[in-house]
Amino acid sequence: MSMPAGTGAAPGKVILFGEHAAVYGQPAIAVPVQQVAARALVRPLFNAPSGRIRIQAPEVGVDTELDQLDGQHPLAAAVRFTLEAMGVQHPLAVTIKVSSTIPVAAGLGSGAAVSVAIARGLSGFLGHPLADEQVSAVAFEVEKIHHGTPSGIDNTVITYNQPVYFIKGQPLQTFRLGAPLNLVIADTGVPSPTKITVGDVRAAWQAEPARYETLFAEIGEITKAARRALEQGDMGTVGELMNQNHALLQQLNVSSPELDALVAAARGAGALGAKLSGGGRGGNLIALAAGDPAALQTALQAAGASATLHTVVA
């Protein structure tokens, strides 16, 4: 008898509005990015006792028994939280092979996507596919180990794979775009783990709470206005609000000379708006194309972007 393999997949994501302020309860908007993905392929491991799990993630040089990994390791944690959510202690022996085309430490949600792919692939293979809510919760638990104080937006948008209007701790809100969103994503090439910038903003907020809470609230107002503009398909307003959001992220001290230079290049090349996206300091920015995205991509590459990606969010 041959046993079917289980597969789990998850897209990347970008934050359109409200990063960082989301951690403090302000709304944020994120959309999935289908051009990149994480995958987990789960197969039976024959002649091995139940409970044995082999994990392979060639891109990060992992090929080992699960119990050889530190329990805090994101791959180990994703497997453990998945089994806990299923109420299973000694599953059939399996090999889990993880692969991903989502750049790491770039603000595109690679960590959450890998966790979602593992939760789906493993629970599906074991015959009890977890519901989306549980999958999202598994990824959130892993995020907490590595990001300290995540808002939960990354695991939410990646699990549900549709545009989300996210408020920490509140039920999921999705919404419809009034017109397709023509986005160019450009990588500074500077890796920047979200944990660091989120921690820095927290320290700055603790030192000057009133000043930072005002900035978070201003970002929240921009996000609310952006939702209306997105629903109406008013791309001119969306672009203007992106520019305003970027200025506030500069004040939060999470931009960088590389990000600012690429944002300026995007605007100079006719983008309707541009801003950093995700944790900041490095990683990616997003630019809203007015017309031909290829021209915008060329301009961003000429200005030093290490990679660009065009995505249409409908």
Known catalytic residues are 154
Compose the 224-263 pattern: x for residues touching ligand MEV by CB under 6 A, - for all others. ----------------------------------------
For ligand MEV, the binding residue among 31, 153, 158, 242 (CB under 6 A) is: 153
Closer residue to ligand MEV, CB minimum distance, 239 or 283 = 283
> Nearest distance from residue 219's CB to ligand MEV, in Å?
10
Binding segment for ligand MEV (CB under 6 A), chosen from 15-23, 58-66, 88-96, 204-212, is 15-23
Encoded tokens for 226: 């952006």
Cα separation, 130 vs 288, in Å, equals: 36
Please select the residue that binds ligand MEV; options are 154, 187, 240, 258, rule is CB under 6 A: 154
- Give the residue nearest to ligand MEV (CB): 151
Q: Report how far residue 246's alpha carbon sits from residue 277's, in angstroms, rounded to the nearest whole number.
A: 9
Buried/exposed code over 108-145 (b: 16+ C-beta within 10 A; e: otherwise):
bbbbbbbbbbbbbbbbbbbeebbebebbbbbbbbbbeb
- The set of residues, in sequence order, having a beta carbon less than 8 Å from that of 309 and lying 6+ positions away, is 33, 35, 36, 184, 185, 186
Cβ 183 to ligand MEV, closest distance in Å? 15
Q: How far apart are CA 298 and CA 275, in angstroms?
A: 18
**Per rule CB under 6 A, is residue 138 in the interface with ligand MEV?**
no
3-state secondary structure of 286: strand
Interacting residues toward ligand MEV by CB under 6 A = 15, 19-20, 22-23, 107, 147, 150-151, 153-154, 194, 198, 278-279
